[in-house]
Structure 1
Amino acid sequence: MSIAIPALAGVTGVAPTQYLQAASAADPAAAATMGTSGADFASVLSSVDGLQAAQSNAQNLAVQAVSGDLEDVHDYTVAASEASLALELTAAVRNKAVDAFTEIMRMQA
C-alpha cells in the first residue's frame, strides 16, 4: 500500500523592495541575481493557510482515532507528521526572516 503525500508549498513570490531595486541599479551584477516575480505579499502568506489546513486535518483525524471512527491509523500518523513538519518549516522560515530583519536594522546608513 502506498500513500501519496502532497508536497508542501514553497515560499515564492518575494519581490525586491525599492531599496533593493536602487542597489541593483548601482550594481548590475547584483541585479542579475535578484528575482522579480511581481507577486504580492498576500500570495506568499497563502502557505500559512496550508499549514492551518494540515493542522486541522490532523486534529480531525485524531478525534476520529480516539472515538474509534478512524479505519486506518496510518492516515492519522501521516497527517500528524505532515502538520508537524509544516509547522517546523514555517517556524524556521519565520526565524530566518526575523534574523535577516535584525541584521538589516543593524546596518549603518
Structure 2
Amino acid sequence: MSISGIESIGFTPFSAPVTSSDSVTLGKSTSGAEGPNKAFGDMLVGGLQNLENVTDRADGLAVKAATGDLSNIHDYTVAASEAAITTQLTVAVRNRAVEAFNEIMRMQV
C-alpha cells in the first residue's frame, strides 16, 4: 500500500494526535515551506520529533498504569501500539534510506 493509500484512510505517517501542548505543528515545517515544497530535512526532523512525542506519551501512560493512576487501561494499549507502529515505520524508512545510499555509493562515475 502506498503512503497516499494510508493517508486516504486517515493515518498519516509521522504524525501523532495533536494536543495543545505539542511544540510541533503537523503538516508545517519549521522553515515555513508547506506541502510538496517541504525540505526533506524538515520532514525527517518532524518525523523524529513525532516519534519521540508518541513514545513519551506511551511511557507516561505505562507509568500511570503501573501505579494505578490510569482509569482506562485501553488508553495505554492504544498508545503503546501507536508507538510500536511508529517505531516500525521509522526503522523501515531508515533502512530504505541506507539501502538507497549504499546503492548510490556503488554507482560508477
- Structure 1 or 2, whichever has the larger Rg, is 1
Separation in structure 2 between the aligned mates of residue 9 and residue 71 of structure 1, nearest angstrom: 29
- Residue of structure 1 aligned with 2:11, choices 3, 7, 10: 7
1:8 touches 1:86 (CA, 8 Å); kept in 2?
no
Q: Relative to structure 2, which stretch is displaced further, 57-66 or 43-52?
A: 43-52
Q: In the TM superposition, what is the alpha-carbon distance from 1:41 to its structure 2 partner?
A: 3.2
TM-score, normalization by structure 2: 0.66
Paired amino acid for 1:41: F
What is aligned with 1:79? 79
What is aligned with 1:68? 68
Q: In the TM superposition, what is the alpha-carbon distance from 1:7 to its structure 2 partner?
A: 2.9
The alignment yields a C-alpha RMSD, in angstroms, of 2.1
Unaligned runs of 5+ in 2: 1-9, 15-26, 28-35
TM-score, normalization by structure 1: 0.66
Separation in structure 2 between the aligned mates of residue 42 and residue 94 of structure 1, nearest angstrom: 13
What is aligned with 1:20? none
The within-5 A match list for 1:1-109 is 7-9=11-13, 37-45=36-44, 46-109=46-109
Q: In the TM superposition, what is the alpha-carbon distance from 1:38 to its structure 2 partner?
A: 2.8
% identity of equivalent residues: 47
SS at match of 2:108: coil
Paired amino acid for 1:9: P
Unaligned runs of 5+ in 1: 1-5, 13-36
Separation in structure 1 between the aligned mates of residue 12 and residue 83 of structure 2, nearest angstrom: 10
